[in-house]
Amino acid sequence: MLKLRSSGLSCGVCANFQIPIPRCFMNSITTSSIDVKPKVPLYLRPPSFSASLSELTKWHKWAKNLASSVGSSFINLDNGPDSTLLRRELNWLLQDLVELQHRSVILSKLESGNNENPDVSVALRAPLEEIYCVWRQRIEKRRPFQYVVGCEHWRDLVLSVQEGVLIPRPETEVIIDLVEGVALNNAPELAQGFWADLGTGSGAIAIATARALATHAHGDACGRVIATDLSPVAVAVATSNVQRYGLQDVVEVRKGSWFEPLKDVQGKLAGVLSNPPYIPSGDISGLQAEVGQHEPILALDGGISGTNDLLHLIDGVASMLKPGGFFAFETNGEKQCKFLVEYIENEKPSSFRDMNIVSDFAGIQRFVMGFRR
């Protein structure tokens, strides 16, 4: 998260990225119904509120003191954030809160303690009372910062997130690296096919995959992505993110469990990707409070050994992929990776080829990938 937030994308309008759609793909997938209205991230709200500089200064001082009071207590408790990280988050919150035109001046005054013109009005994207509330929730309830501001920075994307939607992690970016560096480099024709992102959450993998397919496409032939999720909140949020990046003609979000919404493309998929629930049930209570107490258990709990959904995906992907199709799944790491590879070799020896275990940024073996024979 630190790396992503320092990229300079914390404020501003997302790119309206468009991908040309070949005629043969037009209207081949129907749009799924959405029954949940996603929340608007703080940085995308209009600056419809205001507070005096003195009022904002008072809040800022209170918020910094609250962050500083944490010290290293959260780290000692469950490896949570320390005061240094919380103060950095406070700066990010301010960047999203204050309107763009005078942001740099206002932030400079707050940091320097400049009391000149204390009555000047500052345009804000949310009322100060709400910001008092959400910052108290961040510290006292350990509410994830991404839920506080309503977005997460992932690769070159700014994705809406909210309660009920898993927050995308930096390590999951490796899946897109595998799509580009392994699948599309070794089999460029896969860039023209249908791909699936199962358990899409915020739509991160689906959106990034669609952009990768566009980059590797030849002529007008460009692939498409179907994203599935059982959660209506995730379906709504993912659909909103897809629309904000102008990819609604390339990425379709379908509500349903794993392969169930994909019967019309069985045996036709060029790629299947997923970051499924993989944490053993007994480990949930020991997770960092921001995760275990706030993020959706549906997206975390993988059963007793953490492999329930991973095994379901392995069992189903062979019939969903076309010959030469690619798959990549994220796991809890190390033992789960080796278990899955052994399972494939023993139970489905004729289904896949070129299987491999890939490490994440920290060197932990986390991803299992391969091709359909």
Which positions of the chain have pLDDT values less than 70?
1-35, 219-220
- The reply to whether 174 and 267 lie within a common domain is yes
- The reply to whether 134 and 184 lie within a common domain is no
Domain total in the chain = 2
Q: What is the reported pLDDT for 221?
A: 72
φ/ψ of 50, rounded to 5, equals -150, 160
Give me the domain span that covers residue 237: 164-372
What is the dihedral angle through the alpha carbons of 117, 119, 122, 128, rounded to the nearest 10 degrees?
130
- The reply to whether 216 and 347 lie within a common domain is yes
- The reply to whether 229 and 268 lie within a common domain is yes
Please give the model's pTM, rounded to 2 decimal places. Answer: 0.89
Q: What is the reported pLDDT for 219?
A: 65
Q: What is the reported pLDDT for 111?
A: 85
In DSSP terms, which residues pair with 359 in a beta bridge? 365
Rg (CA), the chain: 22
- The reply to whether 110 and 187 lie within a common domain is no
- The reply to whether 203 and 73 lie within a common domain is no
- The reply to whether 124 and 174 lie within a common domain is no
CB distance 257 to 230 below 8 Å = yes
Q: What is the reported pLDDT for 220?
A: 66
- The reply to whether 124 and 168 lie within a common domain is no
Separation of alpha carbons 174 and 171, rounded Å: 6
Residue 2 zone, left/alpha/beta (φ > 0; ψ -120 to 50; rest): alpha
User: Of the candidates 141, 175, 195, which is a domain's last residue?
Assistant: 141
Q: What is the reported pLDDT for 13?
A: 27
The CATH number of whichever domain residue 249 belongs to comes to: 3.40.50.150
- The reply to whether 137 and 226 lie within a common domain is no
- The reply to whether 340 and 201 lie within a common domain is yes
CB distance 321 to 269 below 8 Å = yes
Q: Is residue 150 part of a domain?
A: no
Pair of tokens at residue 101: 């035109």
Q: What is the reported pLDDT for 39?
A: 95
- The reply to whether 235 and 176 lie within a common domain is yes
Q: What is the reported pLDDT for 207?
A: 98
- The reply to whether 291 and 347 lie within a common domain is yes
Q: Is residue 13 part of a domain?
A: no
Q: What is the reported pLDDT for 114?
A: 73
